[in-house]
Structure 1
Amino acid sequence: MEDIFGKALLDYLEGNDWKNIKTHSSVAGKDVMPLSYLFRAFEEMPLLEQKALELCKGSVLDIGCGAGPHSLWLQNHGFKVTALDSSKGAIDTCRSLGIEKTVHCGVLDYSGTTFDTLLLLMNGIGIVGRLALLVTYLEHFKKLLNPGGQVLMDSSNIIYMYEEDDDGGVWIPGDRDYYGEVEFTMEYKGQKSPSFYWLYLDFNTLENAAMAHGFTCDLVSQGEHYDYLARLTLKK
């Protein structure tokens, strides 16, 4: 499969004839992903991301690292951080920016090392895709955590994006199990990615799933637009 995302990151980093990534989603329709935002400095990050970075401890696995802005900040502040992404271009970008430890694979394929912090930002839990797979990821996270470790993740409750019925209910498409399962395609320089699902997870659903699978789940902070930062720790 063509690594559209990674190609865009490398074009931007190398100053090639880059374009912003176009996206199309089953909820919001057409949109644009500005490449400059993927390389943002700490001061340009949302407050939830800044808070998450400040809460990191010990060794950190930056899951879905993208261009590596979070990994780079952590590394520059003395953390032992590993940047992980399924996009080869993203990992090549991280290496070019000086991130010392990188892994090119999906998190479910990664094992053998444990961490004090698992970090999933920019709606990081989105990698789960479908709600039915959340349990698989939670169980895998257990295997990646050191004793006393934590998972820091952000997401959004996107129920507000759906139309209300006359009786106050919300109309949800019948082809998905949960309203936060959003189908995306990306386009870059005329090339389109295969469609994929990205999960937007409301906090109550996350909390219930986490508690059912051996975690405590704390709401650390809430943003201005239905977004939040959560911290998961294993029950003692």
Structure 2
Amino acid sequence: MRRPATSPREPGAYRGRLPPLAPYTRALLEHHAGAAAGELRLRSSLGEDEALPVEFFFRREGAMLDFERYALDLCRGRVLDLGAGAGPHTLALQAKGRRVVAVEGSSGLAGLLKARGAASVVCADFRYWSRPGFDTVLMLMNGLGPVGTLPGLHGFLAHARRFLAPGGQLLVDGAEAARGAPREATPWPPAGDYVGHAWIELSYAGLVGQPYRELYVDLETLARAAATERWRCEVAFEGADGAYLVRLTTRG
């Protein structure tokens, strides 16, 4: 594993490993503050090595992917945006007149959401936090990724029932894992492990985060998990590249 570099802007500020999402948070905060266009790099144990323009996380509705715009159209009633990030979906829904609560685990990004105009922001880890009464729970950009593993998926699906008002829906996107050449820098899942169990490492401007678990769950596996946890699973969008959007509603 590469050791994290010290930030050139704050010499000596970072020693040892950074928290997993620190590069992501730093990238978004600096972009909002007017920093020159930068890139967030994602490296995966599944072989992916991708540079994402930081401005991508601030995109407006017209620049969103087709399934994102469709998901926004499916939202109804009071909406809970889990893992809101810089708030592109929250702000787009507010512009449509929706009441939205944005949930973000980073205090820095929670402050960014407020600065960008999000009307209601909660700083919390949505895997453990709950608040009832929402008609739509929205989870986009591999929304189930933070649950980390298949056992984590089952645990979250049991937990997520607490968010919904009667007749409510959970809208979540995902994609099956696409394997490339495995990276030696991050642990490869052991033999027999689920292919969508990935380790992710983020870096930005010389800052390298500690690897963390991310789940890429294929549609069939998600449908089986949903059935086990008493959810109905309806495919709302399916792309040629294995990406999908599903609508989950509770049973019983």
Same fold (TM over 0.5): yes
What's the Cα RMSD here? 1.8
1:131/1:177 contact within 8 Å kept: no
What code does the residue aligned with 1:183 have? W
Alignment counterpart, residue 72 of structure 1, candidates 79, 86, 91:
91
Alignment counterpart, residue 208 of structure 1, candidates 224, 228, 246:
224
Q: Does 1:145 align with 2:161?
A: no
Equivalent residue number for residue 215 of structure 2 = 199
Alignment counterpart, residue 83 of structure 1, candidates 93, 102, 111:
102
1:144 & 1:19 partners in 2: Cα distance? 36
What code does the residue aligned with 2:112 have? T
Cα drift, residue 150 of structure 1: 0.4
Runs of 4+ in 1 over 6 A off after TM superposition: none
Equivalent residue number for residue 130 of structure 2 = 111
Q: Does 1:58 align with 2:77?
A: yes
What code does the residue aligned with 2:85 have? G
Cα drift, residue 65 of structure 1: 0.7
Cα drift, residue 96 of structure 1: 1.2
Query: For 1:216, what is the secondary structure of its paired residue?
Result: strand
What code does the residue aligned with 2:23 have? I
Gaps of 5+ in 1: 164-171
Cα drift, residue 24 of structure 1: 1.3
Q: Does 1:156 align with 2:172?
A: no
2:192 & 2:96 partners in 1: Cα distance? 42
Pair 1:177–1:132, CA change in 2 (3 A): farther
1:29 & 1:229 partners in 2: Cα distance? 22
Which structure carries more relative contact order (alpha carbon 8 Å, separation 6+)?
2
Pair 1:95–1:176, CA change in 2 (3 A): farther
Cα drift, residue 5 of structure 1: 1.5
Alignment counterpart, residue 43 of structure 1, candidates 38, 44, 62:
62
Equivalent residue number for residue 139 of structure 2 = 120
Q: Does 1:221 align with 2:237?
A: yes
Equivalent residue number for residue 167 of structure 1 = none
Cα drift, residue 186 of structure 1: 0.8
1:81 & 1:175 partners in 2: Cα distance? 42
Identity of aligned residues (%): 34
1:176 & 1:54 partners in 2: Cα distance? 39
What code does the residue aligned with 2:104 have? D
1:151/1:232 contact within 8 Å kept: yes
Cα drift, residue 176 of structure 1: 7.0
What code does the residue aligned with 2:154 have? V
Query: For 1:150, what is the secondary structure of its paired residue?
Result: strand
2:141 & 2:113 partners in 1: Cα distance? 16
Query: For 1:161, what is the secondary structure of its paired residue?
Result: coil
Q: Does 1:183 align with 2:199?
A: yes
Pair 1:179–1:216, CA change in 2 (3 A): same
Query: For 2:127, what is the secondary structure of its paired residue?
Result: helix
Cα drift, residue 221 of structure 1: 1.0
The two structures have a TM-score, normalised by structure 2, of 0.85
Cα drift, residue 18 of structure 1: 5.7
1:6/1:88 contact within 8 Å kept: no
Cα drift, residue 114 of structure 1: 2.7
The structure with the largest helix share of the pair is: 1
1:82/1:102 contact within 8 Å kept: yes
1:136-159 per-residue CA deviation (whole Å, 9 max, x = no partner) reads 10011011111100000000112x
